[in-house]
Amino acid sequence: MKLVFLDRDGVINEFPGNGKYVTKLKEFHFIPGSLAALRSLTKEHFTVFIISNQAGVSKGVYTKEKLSHITHNMLDKIRQSGGRIKRVFYCTHRSDEGCDCRKPEIGSVRKAFETMNKSIRAAQKAFFVGDTESDILAGHNAGCKTIFVLSGREDRRHMRAWTVRPDFIAANLLEAVAIISRNHAKPSRIRKKKNF
């Protein structure tokens, strides 16, 4: 199975800043190369899911309707450029609400596999791409190969305090897709924390 899970902010679109959210269309800007990356994944017949924490809804910063509007616009632009997203899963809960869908929990990953009538055991052949420790932990917890991209919230300095290490590090999604293309047939190699 050729399967990729992507975070949204900091991976597909520009990270809005710590404590900030993309609340309207004019605040959503694709990271240079991300549309080309999504087109490449589609051409290579990867199934792509987006899994994103969007607690701004529960915090009252923006509504589910605004989030839906931004999402539809994003998906339209991706389709127009030749890419395809299978489905988008958002967790709109705050971190203190104890849900199973907020990364690093893997409830949304499980739902993705359910939509395909597949066992989550197939995650060992999948990739999880994100820009934060919670993304890498989610991928680790699901059994995916993980790619940390440096185009978003966190950078190499933050990694010193992480409990797991990503399988790969990429500058951005376009570089991550090149890594995926070269390594999609190889099994996951989860690594515990090291000095790095």
Computed over every residue of the chain, the mean pLDDT equals 92
Distance CA 176, CA 159 (A): 18
Closest Cα partner for 167 from 129, 119, 132? 129
Please name which of 84, 23, 81 lies closest in space to residue 49, comparing C-alpha atoms. Answer: 84
Q: How confident is the model at residue 187 (pLDDT cuts 50, 70, 90)?
A: low
Catalytic residue among 9, 131, 135, 167: 9
- What pairing do the DSSP bridges indicate for beta strands 191-192 and 164-165? antiparallel
Q: What is the pLDDT of residue 75?
A: 99
Residue whose structure tokens are 């199934």: 47
Query: pLDDT, tens digit, for every residue of 45-76?
Result: 999 999 999 999 999 999 999 999 999 999 99
Q: Is the previous residue joined to 32 through a cis bond, with omega within 30 degrees of 0?
A: no
Residue 155 is predicted with a pLDDT of: 80
The yes-or-no answer on residue 7 being catalytic is yes
Statement: residue 37 has pLDDT above 60: yes
Side-chain-side CA neighbours of 4 within 13 Å: the count stands at 29
Known catalytic residue at 100: no
SS3 labels along 116-173 = CCCCHHHHHHCEEEECCHHHHHHHHHHCCEEEEECCCCCCCCHHHHCCEECCEEECCH
Domains and their CATH numbers in the chain = 3-185 (3.40.50.1000)
pTM over 0.85: yes
